[in-house]
Structure 1
């Protein structure tokens, strides 16, 4: 590591952040605090932040451009000192390591190196902050070179350089106790390659393993935590690797990813959380248990063939949880509290909810105990919650119990509604600004729920406890008509080409699909069609297939289904045939049917019709029918030109696709003309220094060079260089 860039400087800073257990998102919020506060429409995507830090993508130009102004540089100096330095174990040594890196970088001119070194002074914290910020800003803004990870032979390759989104979740702040179990986990992993941590729902298995990870991060080269979603095959295939390409099939992705997992050694810990299945239904279980790395499964079921640590309800643990969540309410008699804990069978989550009841509502321990005795809370005739061998009955009993405890909180209707909305967001939470923008002002409700302990806030993200989130979603208490403003924002975000919330919105659409009542056909139909287009673009084919099934049901059962809706259903079925099954003949048949429907009665959806022609042309090209492919692609461009939509993002993409086919067909002068026209359009609309213009200029130069027009190809070498520096970032945000 001898090149100064965002990746190398961040790697040094992270070395001194180890003790602070800081996530990648925490880190960017610290160093870019001023930008985050001043920019409302920008959201840090976990995957993209991960690529910045791992040296696989250039930092967003919006951030780089923000800090060009000298006054904003000053703000970064202050953010560095106030936000980051308190978490560094030694900021002076960190600055010295960065200085050494700077001196050793032979790719920096002497003039620039002297300028940066002039900021270094072994004095106060503000001087160190100034130096680190200047070097970081230089590393962000210089030409981008992707980091090439090289694994050493004796240890596992670093997964942070290979797998994206490897963020490790932190245990909840109220986690206490379990010292004995934590020690047992460590001891068992020294003796066994695979370990199952078993226990009933809500007993604290996931939080235990998060705490173990926090305590033992330094003991492993890598720790990877994955959430089991019903299939080990899908879980592995859905991992995002730095070098994955769009052309890989699901089977190829699985083979590639699992081959890498098999290369990991004993210095790596792999955790598979919520493995709530059986050995007979999961065919890949034995292969995972044969991996060379350490593997932990958390599960509600018993796997008797493997080493297992069972987490049970414990009186001492329950007392610690109760005390941790009671806060200052310590005037209750120990005898009354012990009776309640016994009735709860010392179940961790149940105890936590009871503590909140006693802390924030008018109920007293005596009244709560009477309610338990009168069987108000319990779903069966048993006085206590008993642990049965039937896992289904046991799960239902605990979940019903949790729901009754939640009901006793006597939350107001608006509070329940806000909780249900937040539960639709991913486990990482929802940005506060986004909640207020999409749902509406609910400051009072949020503050009350924070006080009650239901919500937490971290870096302007509102979060729910994962288990409570699951319970609230399972109730399906929210309908589309409850929050039409929210769901309209979901739809509009999906169709907005430049939104930074696409992935977040698609996650919420997925949860909405499963847990929200569809009592407004028009809203739901428009959300599904919008999300289908976006999931296809982001290669989220698991979600795409679910939405396609939903779209099929909508077109069969909803009223007011237009010909355009039916045409779009055929279009998305063609996308499935092509992108998921690589059946281009079937895809072409479906696309041509879609075009027939869309043109038979006329259509107002010009962009959709253009996409159909363009995709049909692409399928024909893949099938070797070049002339017909050229004809369809020309129609795609013509549809947009006739309505003056060639100036749009989709229009420029369509025109360049047409130019590419012309070039491949030997019509080079026509291709050059279209590229030249597109460059002129982009220059007028987006400016002379836009990345889109750089991409088009690079392609035009390549075409000219291949046709022997070397003079035109090298007419602007400085611009070509700038283009190459920017392209890697642009490709990540869905550019042309």
Structure 2
């Protein structure tokens, strides 16, 4: 016999017997008023998150928090709960004796677990307020003594991964939803299978919505081809721009490994076989529940296949919800659904097209019937393992619907550009900015009529994979036709956003456009690729860099784009690949060869791009010498880089951010060589450039103040060092927060300063600040 004296069982009795005007959240607040405070809570004060949390306490998904239990740490405090029962809770019960009777039944059912003595003691308590307080006290203390495993709540740490919003027109699937819940009770992993466009993703979203109170965490991952990358692509508050993709993965996966059966991870669009993802077998060993949508036929794991919705009830109703005017033509609507082979996505889009176009329903039926392949295909819709092919019938219907919608050029252009962007989606604001739209009217039109899917929960828009492929083939997204999008992304690559977190959506968009765009302007596309390399390198997307270098090399060879600058830049990028592999000797050879090429252009007539490239090449050569621990050669190469910028100062080379980086590298070398005066001169120039072109509140100025502090430390000027380092701490914290390498450097130097300056309390203060960053 099981113990029925749990908080879930007891609160269940009280909730079953309460007045309708006495809501659950008020009972919880009245019960634990010592913890929550005596203020009266109204429904408008109750956040959705708190409402869900209280429901989890009541249904057993979460225990009463230990913080509440610690509030009631002596008998007098339990007396406060007894008074709350007496004055607030019991008066709000419809039938107090019935609640008492049901609670005593719970005691009788638990005798084998709690013992006869405890059972009799509880039942002999005549005062109902004291009786229910004793039951609650026993229940919540016993719940914690069982040491059940509960997941930590990640809502404050996880910035992404929210389940996308459900379509408000979602209909049916009650049996399947119930079956999925049952299957997940007995299995930690469940695949949702079915043909493309049948509604697998919407089903997963609806399951999450229906069961949100059951789970402590629900994390949504849109699969893009590599599970490790998807996990690394989640956003946590602990992420920094300096973290590599592997570091991001390790950090994020550590959080996931702490989750248990009260947490659910949804993986959407997993359209490969499990064996085709190297990390999948390892991932499913975790303790949380996993729900996966896929087009594949799954045989080795538990799977639930979604079939067509019921034609007469569900699909017809779905059609009417999207096109109310069709209710007057039920027979024609039924015939349209037959022609569409009862395929959910095309049924929805047909109804939306009918609503948007204003055409007669008979006309729509005729157009669909005369689709070129309809008369040639009668077999069932095939299910393909991979996404190389989509079913011809579905594609034909979607193509016809796109044509019938008579979209103007602006709307077609939006679909054209979206077909290049990640299927996981981007924000409306990004799309408006990147396409330089005056407003979002056309986007909202496409959302309204089903061509664009809007996720209001995550504030993203996207194309269904089938619509994305159709849009691609129908609109021909090329470098020329998508020049506005390409230019906007190109500008992002050129901007040095040192103060930005790792911009995951932008990175995904850049790679997606690179992979999908049709090249009809090789020169512009090559320029884009060349500037993409340092951007991805900066955000440590190193696994894509070899593929990017291959693409650059192919473009140069295929289209004979072989200027001196192009060849030198390619050599430099190949050198960087050697650096990533720690093959510094070959990197050095490549960079020397690149400089040898560029020195041919080192003339008074050189333009800004060639002069800047030559300076950057010497700067990169300096870094390579440093890797090889050849300090003198590194210093000489860096001086040459800086001299070239001075030589071409009339072209504006001293105003670029590359100058600041080179100056800081040179300053570091001068400090290591104890050349204090020269270091101070370089820092003074650095400071003047930052104040002229940026501000005193930016990261660059914080770095400048840090270096001034390090210089003063070297010169044994503690007061000046303290002044600069404290100013640096304030600036960097306001820009980047505390968890980054810049703050670690500042804390380390302040600790060293105060330790040497015989100020132990301040030294200990900065030691404690430094330790959490070191551990992270």
Q: Same fold (TM over 0.5)?
A: yes
Cα deviation digits, residues 393-437 of structure 1 (max 9, x gap): 764543444333333333344432232124434444454686377
Counterpart selection for 2:186 from 181, 191, 205: 191
Counterpart selection for 1:221 from 216, 219, 233: 216
* Secondary structure, counterpart of 1:275 in structure 2: coil
What's the offset of the Cα at 1:659? 0.8
Distance (whole Å) between structure 2 residues aligned to residue 525 and residue 291 of structure 1:
44
Q: Measured at CA, do residues 227 and 711 of structure 1 come closer, stay the same or move farther in structure 2, by a change above 3 Å?
A: same
Q: What pairs with 1:633-652 in structure 2 (closer than 5 Å)?
A: 633-644=638-649, 645-652=653-660
Please name the residue that 2:682 is paired with.
Answer: 674
Please name the residue that 2:631 is paired with.
Answer: 626
What's the offset of the Cα at 1:681? 3.4
Conserved? CA contact 1:480–1:520, under 8 Å: yes
Residues 1:593 and 2:593 aligned together? yes
Conserved? CA contact 2:490–2:532, under 8 Å: yes
Distance (whole Å) between structure 1 residues aligned to residue 227 and residue 505 of structure 2:
24
Q: What pairs with 1:16-95 in structure 2 (closer than 5 Å)?
A: 89=46
Conserved? CA contact 1:274–1:299, under 8 Å: yes
Conserved? CA contact 2:418–2:463, under 8 Å: no
* Secondary structure, counterpart of 1:714 in structure 2: helix
Please name the residue that 2:708 is paired with.
Answer: 700
> Would you say how many aligned residue pairs link Structure 1 and Structure 2?
592
Distance (whole Å) between structure 2 residues aligned to residue 734 and residue 442 of structure 1:
40
* Secondary structure, counterpart of 2:700 in structure 1: helix
Cα deviation digits, residues 54-107 of structure 1 (max 9, x gap): xxxxxxxxxxxxxxxxxxxxxxxxxxxxxxx9986469x99xxxxxxxxxxxxx
What's the offset of the Cα at 1:487? 3.0
What's the offset of the Cα at 1:563? 0.8
* Secondary structure, counterpart of 2:265 in structure 1: strand
* Secondary structure, counterpart of 1:272 in structure 2: strand
Distance (whole Å) between structure 2 residues aligned to residue 200 and residue 418 of structure 1:
27
What's the offset of the Cα at 1:477? 1.5
Residues 1:361 and 2:357 aligned together? yes
Counterpart selection for 1:277 from 272, 282, 285: 272
Distance (whole Å) between structure 1 residues aligned to residue 723 and residue 596 of structure 2:
45
Counterpart selection for 2:618 from 613, 616, 621: 613
Residues 1:320 and 2:320 aligned together? no
Please name the residue that 2:86 is paired with.
Answer: none
What's the offset of the Cα at 1:637? 2.0
Consecutive unaligned residues of structure 1, counting only runs of 5 or more, are 1-18, 20-84, 95-151
Distance (whole Å) between structure 2 residues aligned to residue 389 and residue 688 of structure 1:
59
* Secondary structure, counterpart of 1:472 in structure 2: helix
Q: What pairs with 1:566-581 in structure 2 (closer than 5 Å)?
A: 566-579=567-580, 581=581
Conserved? CA contact 2:427–2:460, under 8 Å: yes
Cα deviation digits, residues 700-736 of structure 1 (max 9, x gap): 2133224422132124576345235325259989999
Conserved? CA contact 2:296–2:385, under 8 Å: no
Residues 1:521 and 2:522 aligned together? yes
Distance (whole Å) between structure 1 residues aligned to residue 537 and residue 699 of structure 2:
23
Conserved? CA contact 1:454–1:464, under 8 Å: no
Conserved? CA contact 2:594–2:617, under 8 Å: yes
Distance (whole Å) between structure 1 residues aligned to residue 739 and residue 600 of structure 2:
36
Distance (whole Å) between structure 2 residues aligned to residue 727 and residue 460 of structure 1:
25
* Secondary structure, counterpart of 1:658 in structure 2: helix
Residues 1:463 and 2:471 aligned together? no
Distance (whole Å) between structure 2 residues aligned to residue 597 and residue 282 of structure 1:
43
Q: Measured at CA, do residues 578 and 257 of structure 1 come closer, stay the same or move farther in structure 2, by a change above 3 Å?
A: farther
Q: Measured at CA, do residues 320 and 577 of structure 1 come closer, stay the same or move farther in structure 2, by a change above 3 Å?
A: farther
Distance (whole Å) between structure 2 residues aligned to residue 557 and residue 156 of structure 1:
54
Conserved? CA contact 2:428–2:461, under 8 Å: no
Higher mean Cα deviation, 182-191 or 303-312?
182-191
Counterpart selection for 1:298 from 273, 293, 297: 293
What's the offset of the Cα at 1:349? 0.3
Please name the residue that 1:584 is paired with.
Answer: 584
Counterpart selection for 1:416 from 412, 415, 423: 412
| Alignment root-mean-square deviation, CA | 3.8
Consecutive unaligned residues of structure 2, counting only runs of 5 or more, are 1-24, 26-41, 52-146, 746-776
Higher mean Cα deviation, 221-230 or 653-662?
221-230
What's the offset of the Cα at 1:202? 0.8
Please name the residue that 1:496 is paired with.
Answer: 495
Q: Measured at CA, do residues 438 and 665 of structure 1 come closer, stay the same or move farther in structure 2, by a change above 3 Å?
A: same
Q: Measured at CA, do residues 275 and 395 of structure 1 come closer, stay the same or move farther in structure 2, by a change above 3 Å?
A: farther
Q: Measured at CA, do residues 388 and 569 of structure 1 come closer, stay the same or move farther in structure 2, by a change above 3 Å?
A: closer
Cα deviation digits, residues 290-345 of structure 1 (max 9, x gap): 2211111111112212111111111233223212211x313432122122222323
What's the offset of the Cα at 1:567? 1.0
* Secondary structure, counterpart of 2:480 in structure 1: helix
Q: Measured at CA, do residues 325 and 478 of structure 1 come closer, stay the same or move farther in structure 2, by a change above 3 Å?
A: same
Distance (whole Å) between structure 2 residues aligned to residue 470 and residue 306 of structure 1:
30
Counterpart selection for 1:712 from 704, 717, 720: 720
Conserved? CA contact 1:236–1:258, under 8 Å: yes
Q: Measured at CA, do residues 638 and 419 of structure 1 come closer, stay the same or move farther in structure 2, by a change above 3 Å?
A: same
Conserved? CA contact 1:170–1:210, under 8 Å: yes
What's the offset of the Cα at 1:195? 0.7
Distance (whole Å) between structure 2 residues aligned to residue 443 and residue 296 of structure 1:
34
Distance (whole Å) between structure 2 residues aligned to residue 269 and residue 561 of structure 1:
53
What's the offset of the Cα at 1:196? 0.7
Q: What pairs with 1:554-569 in structure 2 (closer than 5 Å)?
A: 554-569=555-570
Higher mean Cα deviation, 724-733 or 184-193?
724-733
Distance (whole Å) between structure 1 residues aligned to residue 240 and residue 697 of structure 2:
28
* Secondary structure, counterpart of 1:512 in structure 2: helix
